[in-house]
Amino acid sequence: MCAKISGFSKKSKNEKIEWLATHYLEEHPDAISILKQYWNTNEGLQQLHDDFIENTLTNYYLPFGIAPNFLINDTLYAIPMVIEESSVVAAASNAAKFWLQRGGFNAEVISTVKNGQIHMNYYGNADELQHFFQKVKPQLLDSVLELQRNMKKRGGGVLDIELIDSTEALEGYYQLHCTFETLDAMGANFINSCLEQFAQTFEAEADRHGAFQEETSFPKVVMSILSNYVPECTVKASVSCPVSELGQGDIEGDEFAEDFVRAVQIAKTETRRAVTHNKGIMNGIDAVIVATGNDFRAVEAGVHAYASRNGHYESLTTASVKDGVFNFSIEVPLALGTVGGLTSLHPMVKVALQILQNPSAKELMKIVAVAGLAQNFAALRSLVTTGIQKGHMKMHLMNILNQMDASTEEKEKAEKHFQDAVISHSAVTDFIANLRAD
């Protein structure tokens, strides 16, 4: 029976599991053993994982795979990917192999500026607020000198603060828009600490500003927080080759290129298609972000907002043919870090970064963008040739067989049978049933 509880976070892990089993898992007698079988036998490592979040019960495993043969700016990479979806790693690997023979991927960081805002209410004279801001701006910057001392030593820190009048969109709404360079750190804690100090200093100085005392209105800070929309922190990745090198089986290169470019144009035009198109890109991007201990939710939110920057949601990739050359590229905002956070705590994150040759944040931006471009190329290549399900269902076959508790012998026979047969859940179920009936 479901029940309320107080002080849950103060209970031991075993006590939490016992309570959960009693009140929510009565119909699942194996639940406790399942939860505990995912505990790490290394107590120190398990404690490290327990400390990542509150109320930890166990670990939730996802596959950690490798997509090799990525040639990026003439450097060869094997890219770690953490994802549960069938065919993603295989698709990325196939795309990497395809472009390895055609000069590889090019990638460049366009900019690395991150931002945050102090959101305020003010219903008084706009000119007076602007005058006050110009007067107090040097004090705002001085107030974070200690906070940004180490960041400045490395070449980063606060870049600028500007007052933005947003009252046309929302009555009485102003922002202090602040920009930052955080180098190899994602910088969320640094940015938020600076913003909160700015807000505190701004309000303290406003208290002493005579003109505000004469008004019925006074600038009031509502909240101070970084933004995960980072259109000034972007990276571009691209590939190109002669159209003649794009032939796929019976499909000539020019026909393939024409259909491929048209598929991207459709995703530029039709939102319903664009969402699925970009989701496929994020299969590659998210998998590398999770493997390297970065915040995939922040990246997802920022990327999808970027896809809408022109007034409607559209493809993140662009394709064209010019003078017989096929060009395919992606431009995405990526605020990533290779120091701090999980990058210095999670053992598998450390391994992932070592596999990537310990990249800087800029290098990681390039690698992640390439992973997204490769994933999109692989998906579109399937869509305009054999169809998406042929390759995907071959990878999904093992999931279906595992759901049926197929033996090693049954798996081998099923894999052989479905090399040429159409794979579906019902077809696999029938095949295994017939095997077991014989």
209 in catalytic set: no
Say which of 50, 85, 255, 300 is annotated catalytic. 85
Asked if 349 contacts 293 with a C-beta cutoff of 8 angstroms, the reply is yes
Helices of type H across 319-360: 347-355
85 in catalytic set: yes
Query: Please, which residues have CB within 8 angstroms of residue 420's CB and are 6 or more apart in sequence?
Result: none
Amino acid at 56: T
With the CA atoms of 427, 432, 434 and 438 taken in that order, what torsion angle do they form, in degrees rounded to the nearest 10?
160
SS3 for 38? coil
Query: Please, which residues have CB within 8 angstroms of residue 128's CB and are 6 or more apart in sequence?
Result: 211, 212, 215
Integer Cα distance of 298 and 228 in angstroms: 6
Asked if 333 contacts 303 with a C-beta cutoff of 8 angstroms, the reply is yes
Nearest to 376 by CA among 329, 334, 335: 329
Cα 297 to Cα 166, 313, 335: the distances in Å are 27, 18, 11
Amino acid at 388: I
Say which of 295, 314, 366, 396 is annotated catalytic. 295
Cα 78 to Cα 13, 89, 95, 182, 364: the distances in Å are 38, 11, 13, 26, 13
Strands 106-109 vs 234-242: parallel, antiparallel or unpaired: antiparallel
Say which of 23, 279, 390, 416 is annotated catalytic. 279
Strands 317-322 vs 157-165: parallel, antiparallel or unpaired: unpaired
Say which of 209, 236, 392, 396 is annotated catalytic. 392
Active site residues: 85, 279, 295, 392
